[in-house]
Structure 1
C-alpha cells in the first residue's frame, strides 16, 4: 500500500502460511492512521509484517523493530490476537508510533 504524498510506506505481508490474512485490514488501518498523523514528516519506509514463529508472551503479541533507515518489522502472534479488537488496534498504534520515531531520528 502506498500512501500519497512526499513519502511512501509500503506494506510487505510475509504470509505464505496464511496466518495473517484475517488481520491484514487491522494492520493497514493502523498504518494509515500513523502515517496520516505524521504527515509530511514521515520518511519513506518498508513495513514488513509476519506471523511469529513461536508463541509469545501475551503482553508481547505484537512486536515491532526498526531495522535501520526506512524499515519497520512487525511480528504478530496470530494465536493470541483478536481480529478487529480495540486491544489489537491500540497495540499496533503504540508499536507503529514508537518505531516511526526511530525513522525520524
Structure 2
C-alpha cells in the first residue's frame, strides 16, 4: 500500500461534510495503484487537502498539484456547481493518480525545466491515469481542434528545448495565441504515440524515462499523423 499521509487545511473553510468520502478516495487510489501496478514502490507522500473557492478547474470544482516528490496538494471548491458530481464520479481519484505519477517522476529525473520535458511529464501522468483507472484521457488531453494542430505543433517544435518557456501559457491557457491546455493535449498524444509504438511500455514503468527518448521516437510520427488528418 502506498503511504499517503493526508492533511486537511481548513482555515479557509471546513471540509467536514466530505472528509470521509475524500479519505475513502485516497485509500482507493492507493489500492488501485498497488494492485494494478505491481512492484511500484514509493516513499511516503504528504497529501494536503484544502478548500479554496475559485482556485480550481471550473469544469470539475477541484484541481491538483505536485510540488516535489513528497508533497501533493488537492484543492477543492464545494461551492462550485460541478464539485459534487466530480467527487462522486471519480475525478478526485483520477487527479490524485495523475499527481502521484509526478511524485514518482520527481524521485527520478524530475519534472523538467523545458517545454519538451513538461510535455512528456504531463502526458505520462495522464497516461498513467488511463493505465490505472481506464479511459482515454481527460478533457485537457483533447483540447486542440483539428484545424489548430499545425500552428500549435510548429510553435511547440520551435520551443521544445529553449532555456525558458511560458508554462502557464502552454498548460493553462494564459497565452491567448494558444488553445487552453495545449501543452496537456500535445503531451498526452505524444506519450500515446510512443506507447503505441512500444506495446510493452507502461507509464508506471516510465518514471525515469527521459523526455528526449519519448520525443525522439514519437514526435515525428505524431506530427505526420495529425497533419495528414487535418
Provide the TM-score with structure 2 as the length reference. Answer: 0.38
Task: In structure 1, list runs of 5 or more residues that go unmatched.
Answer: none
In 2, Cα distance between equivalents of 1:60 and 1:28: 18
In 2, Cα distance between equivalents of 1:29 and 1:66: 20
Which residue is equivalent to 1:47?
47
Misfit runs of 4+, over 2 Å: 16-19, 38-43, 53-58
Moved more, 67-76 or 56-65: 56-65
Larger CA Rg, structure 1 vs 2: 2
Q: CA RMSD in A?
A: 2.1
- CA deviations 1:36-56 (Å, max 9, x no partner) are 122252431000000014364
Matched positions, count: 97
Task: In structure 2, list runs of 5 or more residues that go unmatched.
Answer: 35-39, 106-230
Q: CA deviation at 1:9?
A: 1.2
Counterparts in 2 of 1:54 and 1:9: CA distance versus 1, 3 Å: same
In 1, Cα distance between equivalents of 2:5 and 2:100: 13
Select the structure with the greater relative contact order (CA < 8 A; seq sep ≥ 6): 1
- CA deviations 1:10-59 (Å, max 9, x no partner) are 11000134431111112111110111122252431000000014364531
Which residue is equivalent to 1:15?
10
Q: Tell me if the contact between 2:46 and 2:72 (Cα under 8 Å) persists in the aligned partners.
A: yes
Counterparts in 2 of 1:56 and 1:71: CA distance versus 1, 3 Å: closer
